[in-house]
Structure 1
Amino acid sequence: MIAQPTISSKRWIAKPFPNSVEQQGAIETLTNSLGVSPFLAALLVQRGIQTYEEARTFFRPEIEHLHNPFEMKDMERAIMRLQMAMLPERQEKILIYGDYDVDGTTSVALVYGFLKNYHSAIDYYIPDRYKEGYGISQQGIRWAADNGFSLIIALDCGIKSVERVAEAKELGVDFIICDHHRPGSELPDAAAVLDPKRDDCQYPYKELSGCGVGFKLLQAFCLQKEIPLEQLYPYLDLVAVSIASDIVPLTGENRVMAYYGLKHLNATPRTGLKALIKIAGFSRELDITNLVFGLGPRINAAGRIQHAKAAVQLLLAASEEEADEFAMAINKHNNSRREFDSSMTEQALAMIRDSDALTHAKSTVLYDATWHKGVIGIVASRCIEHFHRPTIILTQSNDKVAGSARSVPGFDVYEAIEECADLLEQFGGHTFAAGMTMSVTNIDAFRQKFEEVVARTIKEEHLMPLIDIDLPLDFSEISDKLFRIVKQMGPFGPYNLQPTFMTEEVYLVSEPIIMKEKHLKINVRQGDTAFRKSGQTLTAIGFGFAHLADQLRPGQPFSICYQVEQNHYNGNTTLQLMLKDVKV
């Protein structure tokens, strides 16, 4: 671990340098076979890439690297039931049912959009966030039964809907469940339950998004029906949006699907996403970050503010006029969402600061009956930015209390919530995010028990923001070639993060510049200019770092951690450093 800060309160954790004999041999092999510097070879070895073949697979993912979908438990049963519904003599009505977030709406657009080419008796259903809540709802099942649907394909939900699936069966409605959340102790009695996280599922990759599981269903459908997979691959743009927005690991199959999904998004995006890209103001090649912060929140805003069906309509839009209309409406919802987000976050932070107990707690659990249910997850994340600890934001939802939880790296918030299950009516989620429902009378007891669980299980280092440093980097190594190769290591996301470098003994070349009263711009050189006059000067940008301007002085050395980016301005492209943190 690097020395404690005098400016920053974040932990800088340097990843181990690949120093073993085997790793050193791999660095030499990659240096020679790829024609890269030993530094870049070390960066690859640090990520587990040791041979030319592994590097080729990493830098050039192939669609053929996707696993056989029939390795997933219940896939044969799912395809058999789907094909039965499509038989000419049966022509069953199929309902595509999905959650109201980005993963759910992209899943519905994917499966409905593809299957309607092969079956006309098909429709889709998105539950109302406020009237029906998360997952399979009684209202949705009744609507399906009343309208003659005999098969529901549930996407991004359903793995814990044991009672609802049983109720549907009594009404003559079968389920194929495509989920990626952790199952409970009992699986629903469905025609098929597709979830790679099932204990009895031997599928090689466990971290698919809900949309990813839906894609595997369609992949199996194509293989069974001998439909060319090339007809399915253009739908990977939707899968890429779900992978980015649901913050699943960008490894294995997710990385392959995100890689090709981004290719489709940047070359021939579907009409709805093209309209969203335009209204978000993106003019250059999209990456995962653009999806996370640009497209995802806008798609999510439809369900947060009104009804998520509008998001599916946008994603399925056939004409540009229709797509532009939906995109404009969704963008307005996103602006409203930002207003709710800002005011609620201010209230939540004030509640913490005004309470000595909350300020010094290991967790945050806040409740306000007036808060907008569609934004509580975002507010939880905002609170973590200020108070780095597991956070749950609760609000009134009909006659119950609904909550959204977010965690910090290294702490499993789902397991902590599971220990409080006796106080909850419903809960679900995964390591870093979860949702729950409880009675109003249980709020205080839940807050107390959750704090006890977190205080007992969390480590002190989890309560301090963490920055992983890949490698120390000398400014002499920073070049256009380094940037190009690092960029090819994408798409970046969890478990394949964009490399973060650290450089010590950095000095100011000129006075710091404050931009828009919030951001910092500095020109820096490594080593005292009196001794290293030939070293290159680089511009570094720190968003939200304006407060450091008075603490950095000419002649005073400091350390920076950063990512190498390109700056496009007035037709010129230059390299710049995006600061992650600064330490004197």
Structure 2
Amino acid sequence: MEKWLIKNIKFDYDEMVKSCHVDPVTARLLVNRGIVDYKRVNEFINATLSDFNNALHMKDLNKGVLLIKNHIDSNKSILIVGDYDVDGVISSYLLYKALTRCGANVNYHIPDRIKEGYGINESIIRKAHEDKVDLIITCDNGIAAIDQVDLANELGISVIITDHHDIPFVEENGERKFIVPKAKAVINPKQSDCDYSFKSLCGAGVVYKFIEELYKQYNISNEETIELLQYVAIATVCDVVDLIDENRIIVKTGLELLNNTKNIGLKALFEETEVKDKKITVYTLGFVLGPSINASGRLEQAFWALELLLTEDENKAKELAKKLNELNKERQELTKEGFEKAISIIENENMSSDKVLVVYLESVHESIAGIVAGRIREKYNLPTIVLTKTHEGAKGSGRSIEEYNMFEELLKCKDLLGKFGGHPMAAGMSIPVENIDEFRKRLNSECSLTAEDITPKIRIDLALPIKGINYELIDRIYLLEPYGKGNSKPLFGVKKLKVLEGRILGKNSNVLKLKLTDGRLVIEGVYFGDIKSFEEEIIGHYGEDEYNKLLNGRPNSVFLDLTYFPEINEYMGNKKIQLVISNYRISQ
């Protein structure tokens, strides 16, 4: 059973309304997102590119720019080493485009997920040495490549690291000592001695700051630099970093550029994924385009996605876009199969009392273990780790809930694991197959989660009756876009709305449209969730006769409490307000 909670932060809202010239609803939404400083209120609502931080405040950035400029001007060989996810592909694309624009002798390499694994490795460095590469620049990886950078130094290859992941550490006598590779420049705002104030850029965001200064060295116009933000926006959304401060400006500006993009590959992908002529939004990036870009690195080669972005050939673009979309469909099918197998194991192998789910799916593709773990976490609201068989043992990914710091809990089991890393909400690991049962037992025996902790919580911004909704309010709420992690989409709650009528729509019968009233006003609501569960809940409480009355628009006794987001629905030139329903429950 879900627990509905209304956020109730003590604050002088009247003073914010008066001082910042915002309405009471917006004031509460801002405070709920931690924006309480009046100067930040103005910056949040009216954020522009002029609010970007100075790139030169990032440790080693200027050193790295001057080093790479020296290599470009001397026509020395440069190799970009990226990662196979969206952030890595976009970062590699940005660096390749920028360095080529500056006249560099540059090539790129994105490791094969299965054969080479994540990040720069010894074989890449030795191959670079054979190819007489003078400098390697990493993107979206490298901060943990201590031994690899030492090898590069031994072989006379300079290394610049651009990364955004947490700084690695070793524990000595219970204390953590943070270590970084001995590269020529280590550009990562998460370093404790880095003065760059915003620490939550994705890998492509760090690369963009690097390019800002590199382009200045070559007198390339700021307009050309800004054009790159459309790509940074894709990576920022898909890497699920907080959409606050600079990230919010990046995505807001990037979406405007994407809706008018000239990139041949992106336009082909828009067409292939059927978003051409539709407004490109955060949802489009996170749930349509991003997964297609990601699928190439998951199931085959991330190289295909990079080639799509780089190509100037329309026919090749169409061919690659089709390939990526088909790979994504295959990935979706594999995920569905993996999820169903995992549920079967959980339900049939006595895991019902576990508070940390560890599922070994021997045959699932290792690239989708994290996605399957995420789906299971959503179903049970429990920390979940999905492991799969590899030629070296088992490998997997975990997804957590807010109340459980997965990385800290894995530290308690490090004697059972091979390599592992991550953060409170997600982690990756390798483990000998024979250690899996003990790993599961120990995680659960050490687990301190309570019944309250694992109860799903719906956090509502504020109660808002339908009489309080109007076009002006919706326009003001839209000023808080783009929404995402760290700047969640506002969620409102309303109690005891009478259901006048319900209709099930969509080719898969997966949309529920409701006509609702508070006794005076009538408003429409739309729900995209589990329609079967809705039917079962209404019948279970009110009976089948009342449910049939609801579907036929006849007088019935159904009352619902709802959480929702108000939006303007425009169809055939007609505008009207509707509620996009997130959750429902039977009114008491």
Superposition TM-score, scaled by structure 1 size: 0.90
* CA 1:551–1:439: 2 relative to 1, 3 Å: closer
Kindly report which structure 2 residues correspond to 1:426-445, keeping only aligned pairs within 5 A, or say none. 426-445=419-438
Give me the whole-angstrom Cα distance separating, in 1, the residues matched to 2:130 and 2:301: 22
d(CA) in 1 for partners of 2:362, 2:151:
31
Aligned twin of 1:26:
16
Question: For 2:485 and 2:450, how far apart are their aligned partners in 1?
Answer: 21
Equivalence for 2:140: 156
Once the 2 structures are TM-superposed, how far is the Cα of residue 23 of structure 1 from its aligned partner?
A: 2.4
Unaligned runs of 5+ in 1: 1-8
In the alignment, which of 464, 467, 473 is matched to residue 458 of structure 2? 467
* Segment of structure 1 superposing worse, 505-514 or 329-338: 505-514
Q: Is the Cα–Cα contact under 8 Å of residues 524 and 540 in structure 1 kept in the other structure?
A: no
| Range moving further from structure 2, 223-232 or 59-68 | 223-232
Name the aligned partner's letter for residue 503 of structure 1.
Answer: V
**Equivalent of 1:578 in 577, 580, 584:** 580
Pairing of 1:134-533 with structure 2 (within 5 A): 134-185=118-169, 186-282=179-275, 283-356=277-350, 358-453=351-446, 455-456=447-448, 458=449, 460-511=451-502, 513=504, 516-526=508-518, 529=519, 532=520
**Among candidates 62, 75, 81, match of residue 76 of structure 1:** 62
- The aligned counterpart of 1:6 is none
How far the C-alpha of 1:60 sits from its partner, in A, is 2.9
Structure 2, unpaired ranges of 5+: 170-178, 539-545, 547-555
Range with bigger deviation, 393-402 or 484-493: 393-402
Amino acid at match of 2:149: V
Instruction: Answer with 135-144 or 370-379: which moved more.
Output: 135-144
Name the stretch that deviates more: 371-380 or 268-277: 268-277
- Hey, what's the Cα distance between the residues in 1 that align with 2:505 and 2:319? 39
Matched position secondary structure for 1:422: coil
> Could you tell me how far 1:473 is from its partner in structure 2?
0.7
Aligned equivalents of 2:316, 2:473: Cα separation in 1: 43
Which residue in 1 is equivalent to 2:553? none
CA distance in 1, matches of 2:31, 2:190: 29
Q: Which amino acid aligns with 2:95?
A: V
What is the aligned-residue identity percentage? 33
- Contact kept, 8 Å, 2:9 with 2:31, in 1: the verdict is no
Residues 59 and 323 of structure 1, relative CA distance in 2, 3 Å threshold: farther
Question: CA separation in 2, counterparts of 1:315 and 1:450?
Answer: 43
Structure-1 separation of matches of 2:268 and 2:9: 45
Structure 1 residue 268: Cα displacement:
2.3
Indicate how the Cα distance of structure 1 residues 187 and 15 shifts in structure 2: closer, same or farther if over 3 A, else same: same
Hey, what's the Cα distance between the residues in 2 that align with 1:401 and 1:51? 48
Alignment of 1:10-89 (within 5 A): 10-16=2-8, 20=11, 22-30=12-20, 33=21, 37-47=23-33, 54-88=40-74
State the number of aligned residues. 559
Q: Which moved more, 1:55-64 or 1:319-328?
A: 55-64
Offset of residue 56 of structure 1: 4.3
TM-score, scaled to structure 2: 0.90
Task: Evaluate the alpha carbon distance shift between residue 298 and residue 166 of structure 1 in structure 2; reply closer, same or farther with a 3 A threshold.
Answer: same
- Using the alignment, how far apart are the partners of 2:61 and 2:199 within structure 1? 15
CA distance in structure 2 between the aligned counterparts of 1:275 and 1:501, rounded to whole angstroms:
38
- Structure 1 residues 52, 365: closer, same or farther in 2, change over 3 A? closer
| 2:200 partner letter | E
Q: How far off its partner does 1:17 sit?
A: 5.5
In structure 2, relative to structure 1, the CA distance for the partners of 1:115 and 1:407 (3 Å cut) is same
Aligned residues: CA RMSD? 2.2
1:77 and 1:449 map into 2 onto residues whose CA distance is 46
- Cα pair 2:502 2:513 within 8 Å, conserved: no
Whether the 8 Å contact between 2:120 and 2:142 is mirrored in structure 1 is yes
CA distance in 1, matches of 2:110, 2:453: 37
* Local SS of the residue matching 1:203: coil
- Give the letter for the 2:493 counterpart: M
Task: Give the residue type in structure 2 aligned to 1:108.
Answer: S
